[in-house]
């Protein structure tokens, strides 16, 4: 590949770019979903209107890499330096009830609590971390769910949503939304915590029926 490669209106999903020079390359209107760039030179490459879901970039020269007009080389370099974890903060009126739900029903453990009595806590399971903050009064207005029935508080991703759904089903857990295949391919299900927060569990889009 030359340093002036131009990829336009092409399906490159799942493609593997290994030990190749793509410096200055242009990707426009391209599907790169789940593509892999390994030991590839992407210096000064430009990506515009590109599907990057599931893309993996490792051991690559990304200086000056531009996506949708923004230099993202520093951001990607920071991500490669170590794991990045999101910690959604959920508001709950009854912290004890919330902790019991996440521990006893969803299999989390309490990482810490803060305050006497506790007004803040974190629960974890694997790479999932949820922060629970106690607030006065109901978290959601009485008519909120009628207007926004699918408003999520957090989405937790995993490889096999079906297996976890079956385990929760066997334990008698009630679901706000049972397991289903989404239009974009992922398998998802949703549970509602005691405060009314909807937590979605989303599996890999490659999960089979």
Q: Which domain holds residue 52?
A: 6-81
Backbone torsions φ then ψ of 76, nearest 5 degrees:
-65, -40
Say yes or no: 73 and 119 in one domain.
no
Residue 54 in any domain: the answer is yes
Q: Is residue 57 part of a domain?
A: yes
User: Residue 206's pLDDT band (boundaries 50, 70, 90)?
Assistant: low
Number of domains in the chain: 2
Domain at 186, CATH number: 3.10.180.10
Residues 6+ apart with CB under 8 A from 38: 16, 17, 18, 19, 56, 58, 59, 60
Q: Does one domain contain both 107 and 51?
A: no
Same domain (yes/no): 188, 121? yes
CA diameter of the chain: 64
pLDDT, tens digit (0-9, with 9 covering 90-100), for 107-135: 999 999 998 999 999 999 888 999 999 99
Among the three residues 44, 60, 81, which one is the final residue of a domain in this structure?
Answer: 81
Domain boundary (81, 102, 124) is at 81
- 108 and 197, same domain (yes or no): yes
Same domain, 95 and 196: yes
Answer whether residue 1 is part of any domain.
no
Domain end call among 81, 97, 130: 81
Whether residues 14 and 109 fall in one domain:
no
Q: Would you say 140 and 147 are in contact if contact means Cβ atoms under 8 Å apart?
A: no
Q: Is residue 49 part of a domain?
A: yes
pTM of the model: 0.62
> Is there a single domain that holds both residue 108 and residue 192?
yes
- The answer, yes or no, to whether residue 2 has pLDDT greater than 50, is no
55 in any annotated domain: yes
CA 143 – CA 117 distance, rounded (Å): 31
Per-residue model confidence as pLDDT tens digits over 134-153? 998 777 777 777 787 788 88
**Residue 209: inside a domain:** no
**Residue 58: is its pLDDT beyond 50?**
yes
Plot region of 91 (φ>0 → left; ψ -120 to 50 → alpha; else → beta)? beta
Does 164 lie in the same domain as 93?
Answer: yes
């Amino acid at each position: 590949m030359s340093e002036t490669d131009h990829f336009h209106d092409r399906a490159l999903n799942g493609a593997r770019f290994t030990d190749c020079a793509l410096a200055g390359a242009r990707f426009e209107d391209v599907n790169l979903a789940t593509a892999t760039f390994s030991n590839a030179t992407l210096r000064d490459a430009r990506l515009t209107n590109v599907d990057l879901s599931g893309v993996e970039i490792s051991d690559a020269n990304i200086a000056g890499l531009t996506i949708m007009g923004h230099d993202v080389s520093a951001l990607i370099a920071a991500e490669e330096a170590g794991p990045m974890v999101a910690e959604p903060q959920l508001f709950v009126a009854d912290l004890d009830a919330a902790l019991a739900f996440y521990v006893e029903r969803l299999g989390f453990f309490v990482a810490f609590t803060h305050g006497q009595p506790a007004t803040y806590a974190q629960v974890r399971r694997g790479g999932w971390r949820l922060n629970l903050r106690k607030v006065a009064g109901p978290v959601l207005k009485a008519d909120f769910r009628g207007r926004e029935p699918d408003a999520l508080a957090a989405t937790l991703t995993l490889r096999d949503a079906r297996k976890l759904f079956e385990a929760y089903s066997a334990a008698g857990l009630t679901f706000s939304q049972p397991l289903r295949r989404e239009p974009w391919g992922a398998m998802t299900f949703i549970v509602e915590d005691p405060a009314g927060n909807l937590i979605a569990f989303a599996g890999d889009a490659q999960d089979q029926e």
